[in-house]
Each structure stands twice: as C-alpha cells, then as structure tokens.
Chain A
Amino acid sequence: MVFTPASHHRTMKKIHLTTALLLILCLLLSRQAFAGNDRTITIWAMGAEGDKLLAVARAFEAENPGVRVRVQTIPWGEAHAKLITAYVGGHTPDIAQLGTTWTAEFNAMNALLPLDRYLSRERDGTSRDNPSPNDISSSDFFKGAWKTVNFNGTIYGIPWYVETRCLYYRTDILQKAGIAKAPETWEELESTGIKLAHPPSTYGILLPERDEQALLPFIGQAGGKILDENGEPRVDSEPAERALAFYVKLFDMGIAPRGTMKDVNLVQTFAEENPPFAMFISGPWMLTQLAEKAPQLKGKWGVAPLPKDRAASSYMGGSNLVIFKGSKNPDLAWSFMQYLSSRENQIAWFKSTGDLPSRPDAWSDPALADDSFLAAFRVQLETAEPPPGLPEWEQMADVIARRMEQAVLKQKSIREALAEINQDIAVMLKRRTEPQPSSYKFAVLGCTALIILAGFFLYFRRALQEEGGASPHTVPVKKVAGPGIWTTLFLLPALSILAIFLFLPIIASFLMSLTNYDLYSLASWQEMKVVGMANYQKIIADPRFWKSVYNTFVFSIVGGPITIIVALAAALAVEKMSKMRALYLLGFFLPVVTTLVAVAIVWKWIYHPRFGLLNALLMMFSVSPRDWLSNPHTALPALIAMAVWKNFGYTMIILLSGLQAIPKTYYEAADLDGAGTLTRFREITIPLLKPTLFLVTTLTTIGYLQFFAEPYVMTQGGPIDSTLSVVLYLYQKGFKFYLMGEAAATSFILFFLIFAISMVQIIMGRKSEAHL
C-alpha cells in the first residue's frame, strides 16, 4: 500500500482518501478493460463440427458473463495446412480441434501447451481450492483415446470425440448359412467365412488389400505392436507375422475377395439381395450411411466388435482439443475445454453431431445406451488402440499399406514384407536422431546458392557480350531523358516484386530440395539436414509419383486438345454471329469467371450418385446410375469434362481476339474468288491464327500440366490415386506429410518435365512465327 511520511494528519488523511479512491477507480477501470480484452478466446474447429460448436460456445458465454468465445470454422481439407501455416506465422488460436494422428505432429513442432498443471492436482489426490464438477482426469476417458494426447508422460490435449472400427454383417445371410451370431474369434471368422464363401461370386468378408488401418487391429489382436515401449519398430515380431499371415490367409482361402471388389460402392453392394460379401469392417459413420442410403435393409444387418485372437483390439481415431503455446489466455481456454469435456456436454454433442463421446460415463445416457448398434462400438472402444503417436506416422502408414498389399497379392512373402516395413520405419526414425554440424549445412547450402547466382550472372554477362554490337535503341533517343532511365523506372516495380516473391523463393525452394526440411525443421532450424540428391532419388523411385505423372499427361493430352477445339469452334461461331452475340459470349465465358469452389460444389452435386443431375439425365435414357467420382475409371474423365467446361471460355476469348485481328479484306478477297467456308478456314483463318493458336496451346498445356484445383477440391486424388496429379502429389508431400524438402524436389522434377515439353512447343512456335 502507498505510504507517505507526512507531518499533517489531515493532509495525510486527505491524501490517503484520494489515493484509495483513485486506486478503486483504477481497479474498476482495469477490470472493465480486462473484461473487454482479455476474456476472449478463439477456437478453430473443422467443417460441420465448427458450425455446431457455435451454439455450445454461446451457452458457455451465457454461463460465464464477460467471456467471449470466437469459433472459427476451417474446411477439413485445408485444416492441416492452415493450422501449420498459422503456427509458422505465429497466429495460432487458443484452442484447436486436431485429428488424433495430427496431435503428434504439432507436439513435434513444439506448438502445444502441456496441460499437466491443470490435471496434476487431481492426480496426486490433493483437494483443490474450488473443486468443480468439470474437473478432468485421465481416468475419465477411454484408455486408447488418452494415448493420443500423452507424449512421454506429458499431456498435450483432451480427447474430444472418438471413433473405432467394428464388424458390420448381414444377419439374414448369416442365418441362412446356419450361423446364429457374428464371429467373435479369428477361428469363428474363418469358419463363418468358409461357410459363406462361394468364389468367384460370393465371399465372406470384404477386406482392403492396401490399408494400414485395416491391418493394425489384427496386429493388436495377435498381441503385437508397431513400436515397442522404447520406440523401436517391432513389425518383424511373431504377433505381427501371425496377424499378416492370417490376413493373407483370408484372401488365399477365398474368404476375402482379391482385386475385383476394389471399386464397388460399399453401401449399395452390401444392400443387394445376395451381396458378394456379407461382412465388412468400418467406422461409426457407416451406421448413418446404411440407415440413410439403404433403408430397405433395415433389420437385416448388425454390428459387432471385431473378432478376437489373443486379445481384443481395434483402430482408434477421432479428434482432440489442444491449447497452443501462443495462447494469451490458457486458463480460460482450459475452462472452455473442461466445459466441452463434461459428461452432459459430451452427451449433448453426440446428439447434435453423432460424434461418439470420448468419456465412457457419457455412454450410460439413454441416447447412447439404448442404441443397440452403438453397443458394439461401446465395447470396442475399451480395447481400441490408436496408431503410434509420431509425426512420421503418415509416412509409416504409407509404407505399411504398400507392403501389405504386396503380401496380399503374393508379390512378397509375409516375412519379407514385414522385414521391409520394419527396415523402412527404422530409417524414418533414425533420420531425425543423427545430428549434423551447422557449419557443414551452411557451407553446402551457401556454396550452392553462390553457384546458382554465379550461373545467372555468367549467363546474362555472356548474353550482354553477344549483344554488344547491336544498336541499343529502336527509335531515336530524346535529348534529355532517354529510354535508358525510363527502362529502369518502368521495369523496377515489376522486376523487384518478381525478384522478391518469385526468383528468390525459387532459389530458396531449390536449396530446400537438397535438405530434409520437415516438421521438425519448421520448429527449429537446427533439425534441418543436408541430404544432397536423396530426395530426387526417392521421388524418382516412387511409383505413386509416376502414377501422378501418367494422370497429368492424360489430363493434358486429352483435356488440352478438347479444350482448344471446343474453344476454337466457339470463337468461330461467336465471331460469325450478328445477333445475340453478347449473350453467347457471356454464356461461354460464364464458367471461366466462376469461382472454382462454387463450381466444385455444383459439379459434386451433378456427379452425385443419388441426387446427381448427370445420373438423372442418364436415367431418362435408361442408363443405370454411376458413382462417377468414386470409380477409378470414371473419376479422371469426370474431372476432364469439368475442366473443359470450366476453361474453354478463357481460350475462346484469346482465340477471338486473334480472329478479330485478321483483316476482313482477306475474307472479302476470298469471297470474290468463290472460296468455300472450309477453304477460307484452312487457307486464311488457320495460318493467320497460328501465333494465337501457339499461344493458347502453350498456355493450356502449361495450365493443365499444373492441374491441381480440380482433383484437390473434388476427389483429393482418389479413388486409388486415379486422379492424383503431379502438383497434387507435390502438395500432399509438402502440406500433408510436411516433407518440404521432398516437395521442393518434386517441383523441380515437374519443372524439368514442363520445361522439356515447352521447349518443343516454343521451337515449333518460333518456326511458325518466322514463317509469317
């Protein structure tokens, strides 16, 4: 407290009073100020969850006057990239929803706030000053879910909702085969399968050939693990071998179909009178899908926990809530997380979204307990295991899926496949443990940068010497300020922007391609290592890359010419029109001006298997409906059709300006000579349009070789990579796996491919230009 030595009591009293009043005023003001500024938190949630969360946030605000919760919705597809860039940019929200497998990545980047201080008080049993029913401890949650927030004993999040995989089966078909209940053990699965299977028309169970999420539960059931307690890979152990051997055996015995069933629509096929398979494994979302899309099947199907072997196990997924380190209000953020995790709010959340509660005690609510289908999931959640919580998991998953497919297809023996998975995982884990002196890194990267710059310097210098003899100006120079200064002034803005935002980033990107720049490097530069050409070798050896190259070439070789031909026809038609020309021009150009996001939404609807316009149209001609975007044979053509529709107007405009530049006198002369339409087209239009045609061919090819937005918005590269383009591959490397080094390497390989093609076109173009 303020204390001033003074002689006069009265003055002192006065001073004290004033001070006290001032202090009170200050406190009041500051309190109000605090209420205005510091009682606000931001939470990012994905897709539908974000929308539904708004109502919960309002309820929380009502219970806590003065608190503001800002809910920001991020589309699922972009959420991962958005969260990472937000972290790199230092703009993280207070709380975010993270997919369970993402939590490890953000933890690896050192982005998350440890939550132990909020939890520990309950753990050691000491009573709190103000105990509240919202207190949280690890015992409140499913064990498997808690593992996704626990990293080396430190807690970095709270499980928000969970999902796991169960066995879906047709009760009527099992009964017909004399089986009363769903298989509970591996032996029963095998015997049931044998009774049901009559290959090649009927099988027992549908199992994916290439999906690590399908194999993991089997490994868990056999008592195995991907990584042991010390983080060492254990995929070559006996339980994993037992699991993969059993998995492959199901295919060998004809219980599970190989190949042929890959492209089916799961729900539709399962709902057939005599489906080719009576069982499959999937998550809780199938409950709604089956109820909505196959209402006729009601009462003929059931859900059971996965068959056991030595233990019960399944895959555990879902979403966690985390607090970012940058949060200015972690206490308030925590209380909101507590609020979301309370039993009653978990139940309310289930009712509003269908997301399964992460707390076992929420499951006693009638809404969940009375649902017989959910009972299987309730049982399964007790034993479900999440995949290893490592930032490298996405890459590991990719390796497991690939090798598992090779084992199922008998390209590799069980032992071989597992040994290779183990080997690959060991390499992935080792990569980050070996340090590299920073002087070495800077020397290598610095030298490379210098060589590139020196290369540019020499290139332009030599060109300068070659040009030396030529006269410097086309037109006579004015006395005072000649083009010399003006050249610089006019070029300066464009060239400096290009230098800063294009040339330098390209060089930076090339340097990045020589390193293993990844998530850890984003967190700290020290983690980055120079790897030389290893990224390039890896990409060139990756069959997925070549698949993407193939798709991209198909896209430009088929899509490019179609676009140009349609555009040329449209341009010629519009050019000839005397009436309603503007209407047609506008109509053809309409798709070009439209936002791709809007276009994608409409076209998804057009291609929709049940409510789609295309299927409606085909049904008028009694063609059976298709699931256009889910079938690997139709997905790429469907995207090409959309791209032609979207882009031909752009090409048309350029061609139109070229057509209008052709002097009318030529046509008039041709008319006098009695030339036909076709002759005029061949003899006048095409030759005079050549430069423009060359321009649009180059632009269209380059544009289509960079084809990205269409598959990104519509299919994400699927099904089975049938629409994976090179740029999408690159984007996934960079912004899904965060292997920025490999992504940069891919971009340079792509650059060389495009460069080679463009060189051919430019040379051809030069010839025609010279001809004119």
Chain B
Amino acid sequence: MPEKRGKIPSGLVLLYGGASICLIITIAPFLWMFLSSIKPESEILKMPPDWLPHNVTLQHYLDLITKAHFMRNLLNSVIVAISATLATLLVNSMAAFVFAKYRFPLRDRLFNFLLATMMIPGQVTMMPVFILLKEMHLLNTYTGLILPGAASVFAIFLLRQYMMSIPDSLIEAARIDGCPEFFIFWKIMIPLSMPAIATLTIFTFMGAWNEFLWALIIMLDESRYTLPVALAALSGGEHGLEWGLLMAGSVVTIIPVLAVFLSMQKYYIEGIAATGIKE
C-alpha cells in the first residue's frame, strides 16, 4: 500500500515503482526460460550466468518438433483442454444456476455437503477412480481424462456466488413474458455471468492444460501424453539434462495458456465493466 495520497504524483511513482519490482520478480524466471531456450547449449550453464544470448539459435525448437511425439502431445493437450473447458462450463453453470436461483428441498444441505467434499484431497479417490475407469474401458482415452473432473464443486461454488448477485427481478420478468426456464438460463443468466464464466474458463483451461499426475496415470501410451507429461518425460534424467530443450519445451507448454488468458482477459475486463454499469 502506498502511504501517500493517491492524488499526488509521488503516490503514483510509489505505486508503479513497487508494482514494477514485483513484476520483475514475477517475470524474471520466464525471461530466463525464454532466453535460455534460444541460447546454444554451450552458453547455457555458466556462472555467473549471462542473461542475453550471444548467438541466437532456434535449434532447441527444431529438436522439439522432430521429437517423436511432441506435435502429437501438443494436439492432445489442445483437444483435452478445450473439451474439458466446454464440458466443465456447461455442466457446472447449470448446477450453479439451480443452487443460486431455485429453492428446492435440501438445497443448502446439499450445497454444504458439496463444499465439504472440497476438503478431501484428490489423492483419496485416485485409486478407486482408476479402477472404475478401467472397468468402464476409459483408460488411455480423452474421455477418461476429462469426465471425472468435468463436474467441479469449486466451479459450482464460484459461479453460484456470482449468479446470486444477479437480481431475481430479471428472472421474474422473463417468466412473466413466458420465457422457458432453459431460455432464462441460456439467454439471461449466462450472458450476465460472463465475468465469472470468463474467470472460470481461464481457471479450467489452465487446470486441464496443466494437469499432470492424472494425465500421467490415465494416458498409458506416449502418443497420448499431454504436454506436461511429455515435458516431465524429457526432464526425467537427473544427469545431463538438456536445459535448452527443456526450456524450449516449457515455452511451448505455456504459450497456449497465455494466449487464452490474453484473449479472455479483454473479455473479462469488459465483463466487469458491464456489470459495473448494471449495479
């Protein structure tokens, strides 16, 4: 917190100065990652390290593309992340709508019960779910990777909190006009919840894109690996790590999530502005 009053420029200097130091700490590892990925192997392990490469090379990226399954892994990640996001948004926004706007027997009990399950660590259910998926013949499939996580208590919670702030009067008015319930959900609640949905989209996409342990266990063939698993496989050996290749792989792994965040962020801010007018 800047201590001076926000109006005078020195407060602004403090604000931007503090934020900039924070920003440098936050992005330095990424800068390092990117710069290392375009350094030739000979420049990588140096002490003290050089930040800027003397000779820029794209060799690590070319090596990555020619790795047996890397492009396939990239495609897998795209398919999984997009379908997981769509499934999560649809399934959970419907449930959140009900919990936010309908009153039905046991609503609060059920909701509290769901919240309580959030406290159970994911590892608890790993083995039973794995055996279940095996019986359903869903191992090594995209469905097996996506379905168990499609319904999320956190997503329901987040959307419900937001939807509760949408006035009931809108729904009542729509009902008087003879709107069917699904129409109310789809044409009124969803558009009005866009900021929350945008937030959830980022989180879900991110979560699905970055999912590691489950993806590793469910996907049994290397050609079915998602990017993080493929990256971990690359970094498997403690000795003789190919830092350049790993850094290039890391860069490729984070760029799609960044792209989604960047595009959603605009939408996200617009959405917040829109609700600002509404309030």
Contact = CB atoms under 8 A, between A and B. Distances in A.
Contacts of A706: 121-122
Contacts of A504: 128, 132
A606 B15 CA distance: 28
Instruction: Report, nearest first, the 5 A-B pairs whose CB atoms are least far apart.
Output: A48-B237, A47-B236, A598-B250, A505-B125, A505-B128
Interface string B129-154: 11111100001100000011111011
A498 B118 CA distance: 11
A755 B237 contact: no
A730 interface: yes
Contacts of A750: 121
Interface centre among A82, A481, A594, A731 (most CB of B within 10 A): A594
8 contacts: A47-B236, A72-B221, A459-B109, A493-B95, A502-B125, A603-B29, A611-B45, A747-B121
Nearest to B254: A594
B182 A591 contact: no
B12 to A, nearest CB: 9
Given A91-B140, A463-B109, A591-B26, A506 B120 contact: yes
A48 B236 contact: yes
Interface string A695-724: 100010010001011000000000000000
Contacts of B276: 660, 664
Interface stretch (A375-383, A531-539, A676-684): A676-684
B175 to A, nearest CB: 5
Given A467-B106, A475-B171, A509 B222 contact: no
Contact of B22 (A495, A570, A661): A570
Contacts of B122: 706
Contacts of B106: 460, 463-464, 467
B151 to A, nearest CB: 4
A702 to B, nearest CB: 6
A474 B100 CA distance: 11
B124 A509 contact: yes
Interface string B97-132: 110011111100110001011111111111111111
A727 B123 contact: yes
Contacts of B199: 653-654, 657
Nearest to A568: B1
Given A598-B231, A747-B121, A570 B19 contact: yes
B9 interface: no
A501 B265 contact: no
Given A88-B130, A611-B49, A657-B195, A486 B121 contact: no
Given A73-B222, A584-B23, A730-B121, 17 more contacts: A72-B221, A75-B235, A76-B238, A90-B134, A464-B106, A470-B103, A473-B102, A481-B180, A494-B95, A497-B148, A497-B151, A500-B132, A501-B129, A505-B128, A592-B206, A677-B6, A734-B126
B147 A751 contact: no
Interface stretch (A9-17, A414-422, A572-580): A572-580
A147 to B, nearest CB: 27
Contacts of A597: 210, 212, 228, 231-232, 235, 250, 253
A548 to B, nearest CB: 13
A509 B139 contact: no
Interface of A: 46-51, 70, 72-78, 81-82, 85-86, 88-91, 285, 288, 459-460, 463-464, 467, 470-476, 478, 481, 483-484, 486-487, 489-491, 493-495, 497-498, 500-506, 508-509, 512, 566, 569-570, 572-574, 576-577, 582-599, 601-603, 605-606, 610-611, 613, 616, 619, 645, 649-650, 653-654, 657, 660-661, 663-664, 676-678, 681, 695, 699, 702, 706, 708-709, 727, 730-731, 734, 740, 743-744, 747-748, 750-751, 754-755, 758
B58 interface: no
Contact of B19 (A573, A610, A709): A573
Nearest to B69: A72
A588 B23 contact: yes
A475 B175 contact: yes
Contacts of B5: 676-677
B181 interface: yes
Contacts of A747: 120-121, 123-124
Contacts of B147: 497, 501
A590 B124 contact: no
Contact of B233 (A75, A596, A601): A75
Contacts of A708: 121, 123
B222 to A, nearest CB: 5
A495 B95 contact: yes
B19 A589 contact: no
A660 B128 contact: no
Interface centre among A505, A509, A740 (most CB of B within 10 A): A505
B129 A595 contact: no
A734 B236 contact: no
Given A48-B240, A570-B22, A602-B250, A501 B29 contact: no
Contacts of B216: 78, 81-82
Contact of A491 (B94, B118, B161, B239): B94
B156 interface: yes
Given A82-B216, A595-B228, A677-B5, A582 B265 contact: yes
Contacts, number: 336
Contacts of A645: 25-26, 29
B279 to A, nearest CB: 6
A471 B153 CA distance: 26
Nearest to A610: B47
Interface residues of B, number: 125
Interface centre among B105, B233, B236, B272 (most CB of A within 10 A): B236
Contacts of A616: 47-49
A763 to B, nearest CB: 13
Contact of B168 (A475, A481, A493): A475
A745 to B, nearest CB: 10
Contacts of A467: 105-106
B243 to A, nearest CB: 7
B257 interface: yes
A598 B220 CA distance: 21
A727 B125 CA distance: 13
Contacts of A755: 116, 119
B147 to A, nearest CB: 7
Interface string B252-276: 0110011001100100010010011
Interface centre among B23, B46, B49, B120 (most CB of A within 10 A): B120
B188 to A, nearest CB: 13
A603 B196 CA distance: 32
Contact of B250 (A574, A601, A657): A601
Given A596-B210, A663-B279, A758 B119 contact: yes
Contacts of B246: 601
Contacts of B209: 595
Contacts of A569: 1, 18, 22
A678 B3 CA distance: 7
A740 B258 CA distance: 38
Interface string B191-221: 0000110010011001001101100110011
B47 A590 contact: no
Contact of A727 (B121, B171, B279): B121
A460 B109 contact: yes
A751 B103 contact: no
A757 to B, nearest CB: 9
A598 B32 CA distance: 12
Nearest to A490: B94
A467 to B, nearest CB: 6
Nearest to A712: B213
A474 B227 CA distance: 47
B2 interface: yes
Contacts of A573: 15, 18-19, 22
Given A81-B217, A472-B105, A586-B261, A606 B233 contact: no
Contact of B1 (A491, A650, A681): A681
